[in-house]
Structure 1
């Protein structure tokens, strides 16, 4: 056998390996093939190819593994049990940028499914290598590493702390300053994932100087970047007054209000969430939002969208109103009550109705004047019908029913109970049933007192009364 014939055997073997990994990687993109691949023992066959002498085969094998692991936690578990992670981590530090991207993709695909799988990635020493990748010259490698770190961090505080301890945060903050939009998106998302778990973790992100850089990107034209930036700022601001004030001090107002008019629904939602997280802390922060025109802007935003996109804005109005009479009046003056009434009437989801009912309660609970503002919006019959509806959730019913004596008192002093007694309902009708339900919240003599004709009846009794001398 000639030398050429001998070499041909190796060439054929290489072509076969190449074709195998490329075909598996392609097949793994379609969900209907996954089970067949799994049953055929594809994991065990791909594993040795991660150490193949041909770089292209290594990379494609890693890509195929990533696609498989991404599909479900069983396959991700198979990657862990097959001792594939140590190989990936070892190669991640040694190989070229194409392999690094593919290997980081596998780590992300495994880590995303559960805290246990993410912990397996931490245990095999992947964090240090991923952090080194954040300093890579290639932005694609940085992006892949940022993505993997974010997916690990998002599960819980311990995993986030592990990411912090590996030194990722300062490098992620550098990544959000890079020119590549995709890298900035993923790095901002990772910072959000770290920040969300605790004030301490959020403080770590703040200490690395993240807020100023995030705040500068609020007006970036890229919607996906804005989503992540607003999310990260929300996750920082939610934890404490100090952190919320730091976000505000980055001069996010009034620029963040422009995001409430964005064409992207998630940008709107995340902007509303950020404003809500700031507003709920103190009356002073809420007042700052009012002064910036934030309440009116949020009300407009609620009117321009539907469903869960509305929810943070609805709750923000409740948080603002809860702080003080003046802030509740600011919501009333900005026509927040009619908009909340629309949400109450329009939204099919109970949790959104419950939020609207809660916010209306926060507005109306301060004084008779506040309660009257809620009453004149014709909210009360709607609230009552929701309470009576058999398909309303318990949470919604609790939000609607005035359980506390102060709320019942305000309902009387604002003229609500008197108004209810003036409603002419057919005996036995659903409306009459609603009225009876309200009346049952009060002593009988109070209901009689506010019933039409009661004063005349009293006067008649006075006239007919014969004192005993």
Structure 2
């Protein structure tokens, strides 16, 4: 078998997964199909696809799961991911680097997700974030997460950065410190407390440099 033929096997597998989740997501929009899909074990088939290496497959699986969840109390996918991620920092990292957190966030924020699914997704996000010490996996949440999730992200940075000099350097070069200065937190809030803790890890002049409007002052 040639190299091209070997690669075609993987292409066929990816195409099959893509078509599968697309068709399920489409069929899940029709209430008359829900019972048939559930009886066929669709929930257990979708769960591993939430961790697929292909982002579009993850997202479509999440969309399908969100639609199905409106008719089903079996929300074990979100619950299970949170249970895995909450055990140790290693477990949390293993879950986080698979791009699971953005998928869970999409489930939490999707208007098509039931209230129960949103609650379980939020809890899973919280469980994973509060154990994850691999900060690069959390940094995108500084840009995308709503305030009630953002506080957990900032809280984790405030716990890890004081004890990790490499992480502090990366947080500056990646733009994370600049983004933190742009967050508008309520004075006295827990989010503001976390931001203050993060800023205390750096010299005052560095924090000022990355604060909004600092360049205008220099001019």
TM-score range, shorter chain: 0.5 to 0.7
Shift of residue 67 of structure 1? Answer: 3.6
Shift of the 119–185 alpha-carbon distance from structure 1 to 2, 3 Å rule, reads farther
Equivalent position of 2:129 in the other structure: 130
TM-score, structure 2 length as denominator?
Answer: 0.53
The answer on 1:89 being equivalent to 2:82 is yes
Shift of residue 179 of structure 1? Answer: 7.3
Shift of residue 132 of structure 1? Answer: 0.5
Shift of the 21–108 alpha-carbon distance from structure 1 to 2, 3 Å rule, reads farther
Residue 203 of structure 1 aligns to a residue in which SS? helix
Equivalent position of 2:97 in the other structure: 101
Equivalent position of 2:26 in the other structure: 39
Shift of the 159–125 alpha-carbon distance from structure 1 to 2, 3 Å rule, reads same
How many pairs are equivalent?
Answer: 187
Shift of residue 38 of structure 1? Answer: 1.4
Higher Rg of the two aligned structures: 1
Q: Show structure 1 runs of 5+ residues with no match.
A: 1-17, 51-57, 216-248, 257-270, 280-288, 295-469
Which of 155, 168, 171 lines up with 2:156 in the alignment?
A: 168
Higher RCO by CA contacts (8 Å cutoff, separation 6 or greater): 2
Shift of the 199–98 alpha-carbon distance from structure 1 to 2, 3 Å rule, reads same
Shift of the 203–145 alpha-carbon distance from structure 1 to 2, 3 Å rule, reads closer
CA distance in 2, matches of 1:79, 1:211: 46
* Counterpart contact for 1:173–1:209, Cα < 8 Å: yes
Q: Show structure 2 runs of 5+ residues with no match.
A: 1-9, 29-36
The answer on 1:198 being equivalent to 2:194 is no
Shift of residue 110 of structure 1? Answer: 2.7
Shift of the 186–145 alpha-carbon distance from structure 1 to 2, 3 Å rule, reads farther
Q: How does 1:58-457 map to 2 (within 5 A)?
A: 58=48, 61-63=50-52, 67-68=56-57, 70=59, 74-75=63-64, 77-78=66-67, 81=70, 83=75, 84-93=77-86, 95=91, 97-102=93-98, 103-111=100-108, 113=110, 120-122=120-122, 124-134=123-133, 139=134, 142-148=135-141, 151=144, 154-156=145-147, 158-161=148-151, 163=152, 167-171=155-159, 173=161, 177-178=166-167, 181=170, 185=174, 188=177, 191=180, 195-201=183-189, 203-210=192-199, 213=202, 249-250=204-205, 274-275=212-213, 289=217, 292=218, 294=219
* Counterpart contact for 1:68–1:76, Cα < 8 Å: no
Shift of residue 35 of structure 1? Answer: 4.2
Equivalent position of 1:234 in the other structure: none
Shift of residue 64 of structure 1? Answer: 6.4
